[in-house]
């Protein structure tokens, strides 16, 4: 017996059925509806669970019914393929649902304070019974702290990755990779404690008449410690993905190595490097513990990151979420939505800038 006879025993290969029969979309939908109905009848009729169990059991019934119905129409092999395809789509949907839930929750609860007062005022002189107050000081602090940290971490991280990929050999390169891997997993509060013990308590008194000083710059240093390993590792992986013939062709034309890296390797890896950089920036923008330890978190506006404490949006959300005022939760949700929007805008802008690299012009 041939493979075709085993897969489709009831089909006779004639000129009328040379084309493979397809399982109709309407039948697929009917199987899904029937599975949900049976699942609801079993779960809700017996009272053993709620709608979550209905969906889970309905998915099991759907896969079983799809395998049986599609097998009768398309054959066993096509039915198995359709069943695994449904499983992949289901896994994708399950991965999207939490993200969609977070986005919907942020938008639905964050729009309550999307007004000019929120973006144009601070929490200075705002009491528990005051409905006003905003996050202007926290937005300024986040932009300055993350901006300074990016200015420090991006060049160091990219140059470190270039060294590891293009020049690094021997024990020193292995040591650098080891410490980068170790730094990737350190908690954010450890970075804050390091900057507190080194910069705030030892270095800052030299510039402040012997007195330790909290500052936004200290928070930037802590964020730099957190951003560096992410940028180094992501950039290193992107540089390793650049095809070797590109480098070899450049060397064959007599181009020196530094110029090959600058003109060939980096433009080719630019989209992936930008993705890693934005991942590091997103992590830094959402950190609370380092800012609380070394910047203090003021309620007033401070444009100078080198003089006095500063707030940040993540710290603002933390403070408002723990505030006893009935107006605080709305401020916290709007600040969280603002933080996500800032990161999203920066990510889209960076991806658009890196969309076209020099090699494809």
**Average pLDDT, integer, range 29-36:** 87
What's the pTM? 0.79
312-333 per-residue burial string, b: 16 or more CB within 10 A, e: under 16: bbbbbbbbbeeeebebbebbbb
Which pLDDT score, from 0 to 100, does residue 1 have?
Answer: 53
**Average pLDDT, integer, range 190-204:** 91
130/149 Cα distance (integer angstroms): 34
Helix, strand, coil shares of the chain, percent, nearest 5, are 75, 0, 25
358/90 Cα distance (integer angstroms): 39
Which superfamily does 118-356 belong to? Answer: MetI-like (1.10.3720.10)
143/195 Cα distance (integer angstroms): 20
Q: What's the pLDDT tens digit per position in 86-139?
A: 888 888 888 888 888 888 999 999 888 888 888 988 888 888 777 888 899 999
215/306 Cα distance (integer angstroms): 6
Comparing CA positions, the residue from 291, 287, 271 lying closest to residue 347 is: 271
5-41 per-residue burial string, b: 16 or more CB within 10 A, e: under 16: eeebeeeeeeeeeeeeeebeeeebeebbeebbebbbe
Comparing CA positions, the residue from 263, 171, 276 lying closest to residue 232 is: 276
Question: Domain spans of the chain?
Answer: 2-111, 118-356
Comparing CA positions, the residue from 72, 60, 71, 66 lying closest to residue 85 is: 66
The token duo for 113 is 């304070």
- Is 273 within 8 Å of 234 (Cβ atoms)? yes
Residue 111: how many CB atoms within 10 A of its CB?
Answer: 13
Q: What's the pLDDT tens digit per position in 253-288?
A: 888 998 999 989 998 898 889 989 999 999 899 889
């Amino acid at each position: 017996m041939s493979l075709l006879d085993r897969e489709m025993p009831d089909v006779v290969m004639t000129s009328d059925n040379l084309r493979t029969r397809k399982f109709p979309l309407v039948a697929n939908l009917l199987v899904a509806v029937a599975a949900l109905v049976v699942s609801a009848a079993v779960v809700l009729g017996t009272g053993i669970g709620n709608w979550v169990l209905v969906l889970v059991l309905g998915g099991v019934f759907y896969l079983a019914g799809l395998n049986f119905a599609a097998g009768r129409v398309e054959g066993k092999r096509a039915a198995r393929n359709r069943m695994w395809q449904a499983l992949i789509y289901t896994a994708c949907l399950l991965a999207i649902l939490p993200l969609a839930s977070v986005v919907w929750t942020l938008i639905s609860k964050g729009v309550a304070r999307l007004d000019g007062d929120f973006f144009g005022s601070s929490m200075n002189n705002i009491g528990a019974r005051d409905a006003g107050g905003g996050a202007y000081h926290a937005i300024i602090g986040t932009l300055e702290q993350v901006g300074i940290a990016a200015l420090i971490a991006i060049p160091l991280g990219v140059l470190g990755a270039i060294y590891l990929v293009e020049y690094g050999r021997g024990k020193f390169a292995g040591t650098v990779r080891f410490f980068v891997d170790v730094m990737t997993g350190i908690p954010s509060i450890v970075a804050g404690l390091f900057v507190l013990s080194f910069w705030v308590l030892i270095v800052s008194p030299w510039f402040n008449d012997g007195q330790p000083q909290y500052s936004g710059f200290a928070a930037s240093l802590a964020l730099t410690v957190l951003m560096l390993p992410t940028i180094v590792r992501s950039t290193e992986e992107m540089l390793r993905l650049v095809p070797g013939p590109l480098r070899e062709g450049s060397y064959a034309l007599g181009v020196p190595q530094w110029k090959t890296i600058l003109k060939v390797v980096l433009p080719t890896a630019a989209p992936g490097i930008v993705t890693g950089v934005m991942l590091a920036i997103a992590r830094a923008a959402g950190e609370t513990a380092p800012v609380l330890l070394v910047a203090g978190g003021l309620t007033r506006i401070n444009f100078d990151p080198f003089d006095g404490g500063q707030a940040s949006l993540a710290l603002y959300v933390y403070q408002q979420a723990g505030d006893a005022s009935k107006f605080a939760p709305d401020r916290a949700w709007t600040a969280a939505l603002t933080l996500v929007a800032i990161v999203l805008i920066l990510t889209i802008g960076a991806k658009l800038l890196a969309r076209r690299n020099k090699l494809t012009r």
